[in-house]
Amino acid sequence: MRRFCLVPAAVLLFSLNAYASDTETTPVQGDASAEAIAAAAQEGKLPLQELRNFTEIFERIRSAYVEEVDDETLFEYAINGMLNSLDPHSAYLQPDDYDDLQEHTSGKFGGLGIEVGMEDGLIRVVTPIDDTPAQKAGIQAGDLIVTLDGEAVMGMSLTDAIERMRGEPGTTIELEVRREGEKELLSFELERAEIKVASVRTEMMADDIGYVRITQFQANTGRELNGALLDWQQGDIRGLILDLRNNPGGVLDAAVEVADAFIDDGLIVYTEGRAPNSRLRYSATQRTVARELPLVVLVNGGSASASEIVAGALQDHQRAVIVGTQSFGKGSVQSVLPISEEKAIKLTTARYFTPQGRSIQAQGIKPDIWIEQSEVTPYKQRYFKEADLPGHLSNPEGEEDGKEVSKNSTSELLKRDFQLYEAHTLLRGLNILRPTTAAAETDSNSNGE
């Protein structure tokens, strides 16, 4: 069985109707006939009176509803209502939905490029995906979508809203958004496009500090990360920033591989549920490529599911400093259970736990160092120095008078991103202390002999 730990919200694809997390496929157990249901009810396994109520309501709708609705549609409504009432992630998958779910993990799909969920009758943006129409237009995590092409979202199901946002590449849709801190609704016109998500992006920053941005956990994410780390280790890398902000999740095995790149022993994540096959454990291996590299992990409210698994494992093993704001809190497992050759249900079957037994669900990962996002705005101030004074003494080492100490180069990315700037500063500080610490340990060992 292939397991996924996908996005914590429905993705606006041409045909994706999945708000998925960890999923597995379970064989069909057989059809339950009307006789079997009646027999089970008589044995007390099913509530007979509630079944009678359902039958009565079903018949009343068939005979008295203002418009005629066929039986198949009514049963689909009933199934959808039953699953949607359980939690935001359980769902009834129509014939194309599972194929679309698989397509999403490949990193190529069509749509607007936002992860969304339902909240108080409105569509909540969990996160825009990097380099997509939504992200480029300025849609932000936390935005509430109020209208779609002028029609109010209130009263729509999540599925209906997603259907309205789908369309061919090049077609447009207008969204009105309510954003915290804004008095008026914000209007956006988005052009649908084919979305290609690059899973791993890398950059070598100042002071030999590597930067890895994982936008989504895909099948090749672990391999791409390990390749980048091995390339950097051929030179001189002194620390790593792993950016998981606004990462909605992805393939579970990829999350385990990413954690395994930094942890060489012990548990990474485990799941617990009522069914025996929902209790699984994932442990680190000896394939670790960066077991001692200083590591800072960035998270925020858009970091969910697989991102939280990685951050939680690294935090519990004290392998990394977690920096940013509290993560999303998507810690449940969904299993895809086929009910026919064409249809299936996606059912929440377990919860994720970090190595130390912390549940991620509705709690998320709390950072070790809490830093809100903002821009880096240096305060410019002119100071007079000794070298500015007339007749000052010269430096005996021959340094040129008035020469300023060289500053560490700050890339545009660091200037725009305060959380990243702070993570970079933290790693620089750790690197400054490392030679001193090593020298102190050497002196201590020498004195003891």
Beta strand pairing call for 267-272 and 344-353:
antiparallel
Report which listed range, 205-214, 377-386, 437-446, is most confident. Answer: 205-214
In-domain check, residue 341? no
Per-residue pLDDT band at 24 (split at 50, 70, 90): very low
**Cα angle: 311, vertex 315, 321; to 5 degrees:** 90
pLDDT tens per residue, range 371-416: 998 877 777 777 788 888 898 888 887 665 444 444 444 566 787 7
Q: Which of 352, 348, 336 is nearest to 272 (CA)?
A: 352
120-129 core/surface letters (b: 16 or more CB in 10 A; e: else): eebbbbbbbb
Find out whether 192 and 112 touch, Cβ atoms under 8 Å: yes
**Residue in 244, 285, 280, 282 with CA at minimum distance from that of residue 264:** 285
User: With the C-alpha atoms ordered 134, 415, 327, 252, is the resulting torsion angle positive or negative?
Assistant: positive
CB 209 within 8 A of CB 272: no
Burial of 167 (0-12, 13-18, 19+ CB in 10 A): middle
Least trusted range by pLDDT, from 100-104, 154-158, 159-163, 176-180: 100-104
Q: Using pLDDT thresholds of 50, 70 and 90, give the confidence band for residue 155.
A: confident
149: in domain: yes
Which of the listed ranges 45-54, 340-349, 365-374 does the model predict with the highest average pLDDT? 365-374
Mean pLDDT of all residues in the chain? Answer: 83
Using the CB atoms, write b or e for 23-51: b if 16+ within 10 Å: bbeeeeeeeeeeeeeeeebeeeeeeeeee
Task: Please say if the pLDDT value at position 156 is more than 90.
Answer: no
pLDDT of residue 33: 52
CA distance 203 to 415: 15
Higher pLDDT, 329 or 431: 329
Q: Report how far apart, in Å, the C-alpha atoms of 361 and of each of 55, 95, 357, 370 are.
A: 36, 29, 12, 20
> For 230-248, what is the HEC assignment?
HHHHCCCCCEEEEECCCCC
Dihedral of alpha carbons 351, 354, 355, 358, sign:
negative
| Alpha carbon 260 to its chain's center | 18
Cross-strand pairs, 296: 241, 321
* Per-residue confidence band for 432, with pLDDT thresholds at 50, 70 and 90: confident
Q: What is the pLDDT of residue 101?
A: 59
Sheet holding 321-324, edge to edge: 200-205, 209-214, 239-243, 295-299, 321-324, 369-370
Q: Which whole number is the average pLDDT over 56-67?
A: 96
Model confidence band, residue 85 (pLDDT cutoffs 50, 70, 90): very high
Q: Is residue 383 part of a domain?
A: no
Lowest-pLDDT range of 25-34, 65-74, 219-228, 274-283: 25-34
366 secondary structure, DSSP code: -
* Residue at token pair 């339902």: 118
117, 158 in Cβ contact below 8 A? yes
Query: Domain count of the chain?
Result: 1
Mean pLDDT computed over 22-45? 53
Q: Which domain holds residue 145?
A: 108-196
Residue 134 lies in a domain: yes
CA–CA separation, 136 vs 239, rounded Å? Answer: 30
pLDDT digits (tens, 9 = 90+) for 90-145: 999 887 665 665 555 555 556 798 878 777 788 888 778 778 899 999 999 889 99
Residue 89 lies in a domain: no
How many CA atoms within 13 Å lie on the side-chain side of 319?
27
pLDDT, tens digit, for every residue of 290-328? 999 999 999 999 899 999 999 999 999 999 999 999 999
Indicate which CATH number applies to the domain containing 152: 2.30.42.10
Structural domain contains residue 356: no
* pLDDT for residue 8 is more than 80: no
pTM for this structure?
0.74
Which residues form the catalytic set? 305, 316, 330
Q: Where are the alpha helices (DSSP H) in 290-406?
A: 306-316
What is the pLDDT, as a whole number, of residue 141? 83
Residue 52 has what pLDDT?
Answer: 92
pLDDT at site 442: 44
Whether pLDDT at 87 is above 70: yes
Q: Is 81 a domain residue?
A: no
212 closest CA partner among 276, 179, 258, 176: 258
Residue 411 has a pLDDT of 67
Handedness of CA 71, 77, 80, 83 (dihedral sign): negative
In a domain, 20, yes or no: no
How many Å apart are CA 383 and CA 8, to the nearest integer? 51
